């Protein structure tokens, strides 16, 4: 089976955008691929984290992975920091990465903009991200559009290693769904729905109550027109809501348009809220069961053990090819 690797940071609350753009696809991929899904806590500390919050969010994100349908019997679910080979290969790949490559990373530019001091970890973390992927020789990486640049760097580093030390690494390909890969903010559809947005009304958190979900969708920004029509040039906000409806209901975009033909935004948004609640309520119930039982700790332990076995072989091969003493 081909290998898949992906991860989500435990910073902020996971959103409906994370579910549609990532978790939902993880669940689908696990039936056909050998999957490693991790909570990337080493990436989270590239910015300051409160220890108690980091611990709570790490466990919460891991539990949401499983609650969303990732099966620990099919996929490895684990903490990035529990598999030390990520950091070890990360350092090795940092030595193969040029300053110029890191300076060109748009995410670094965006996150560093306007700040007097920026940690070195924020600058070099694309090399660690490359290690996350290459330590399993992954074939496929589910990434959003904003991470494609990092995957290109991963491919460059894999090719550079192969050229210098011998063919070894697979050049990974991105997995980007055509619809629903990028869910936008409820208050500004020109921006991605983000758990780091300071306005909680801009996103639906996976653990929001039904009433919170209904309130947020009722207040979601729409254009001045009346038609429930998918048009990403002229009706960006409504198109985003239609995408959410489609992804949560299983209806196509055209079927959603047809269902609300001749109706205004009010009935559409009211129904959309119930569709989203219908998807999230069972997930929330499963999440509470996982947290209350404490089973997530066993899942993470077993996932790390399996991932460790696979990663250790790759790390040893890399070190041998580069001339390290064994």
pLDDT per residue as tens digits for the range 261-284: 988 899 999 999 999 999 999 999
pTM of the model: 0.91
Burial class (CB in 10 A: 0-12, 13-18, 19+), 165: middle
The residue with greater pLDDT, 287 or 47, is 287
pLDDT per residue as tens digits for the range 193-208: 987 788 889 999 999 9
Average pLDDT over residues 304-308: 97
Q: Quick one: what percent of the chain has pLDDT higher than 70?
A: 98
- The DSSP line for 68-127 is TT--TTTEEEEEGGGSTHHHHHHHHHHTTS-HHHHHT-HHHHHHHTT-S---HHHHHHHH
| Residues with catalytic function | 111, 192, 195
What pLDDT is stored for residue 225 in this prediction?
A: 82
């Amino acid at each position: 089976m081909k290998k898949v690797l992906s991860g989500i940071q435990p910073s902020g609350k996971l959103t409906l955008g994370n579910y549609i753009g990532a978790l939902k696809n993880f669940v689908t991929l696990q039936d056909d691929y050998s999957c490693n899904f991790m909570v990337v806590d080493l990436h989270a500390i590239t910015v300051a984290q409160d220890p108690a919050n980091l611990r709570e969010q790490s466990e919460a994100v891991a539990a949401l992975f499983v609650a969303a349908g990732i099966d620990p019997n099919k996929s490895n679910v684990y903490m990035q920091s529990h598999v030390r080979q990520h950091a070890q290969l990360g350092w090795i790949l940092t030595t193969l990465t040029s300053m110029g490559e890191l300076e060109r990373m748009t995410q670094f530019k965006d996150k560093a903009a306007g700040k007097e001091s920026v940690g070195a970890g924020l600058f070099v973390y694309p090399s660690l991200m490359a290690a996350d992927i290459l330590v399993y020789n992954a074939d496929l990486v589910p990434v959003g559009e904003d991470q494609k640049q990092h995957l290109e760097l991963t491919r460059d580093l894999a090719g550079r290693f192969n050229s210098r030390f011998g063919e070894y690494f697979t050049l990974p390909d991105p997995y980007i769904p055509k619809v629903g890969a990028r869910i936008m903010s409820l208050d500004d559809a020109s921006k991605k729905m983000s758990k780091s947005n300071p306005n909680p009304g801009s996103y639906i958190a996976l653990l929001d109550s039904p009433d919170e979900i209904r309130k947020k969708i009722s207040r979601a920004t729409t254009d001045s027109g009346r038609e429930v029509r998918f048009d990403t040039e002229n009706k960006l906000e409504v198109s985003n809501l239609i995408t959410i409806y489609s992804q949560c209901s299983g209806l196509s975009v055209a079927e959603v348009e047809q269902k609300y033909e001749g109706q205004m935004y009010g009935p559409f948004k009211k129904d959309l809220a119930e569709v989203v609640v219908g998807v999230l309520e069972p997930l929330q119930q499963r999440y509470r069961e996982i947290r209350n039982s404490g089973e997530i700790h066993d899942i993470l332990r077993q996932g790390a053990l399996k991932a460790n076995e696979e990663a250790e072989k790759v790390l040893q091969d890399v070190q041998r090819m580069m001339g390290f003493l064994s």
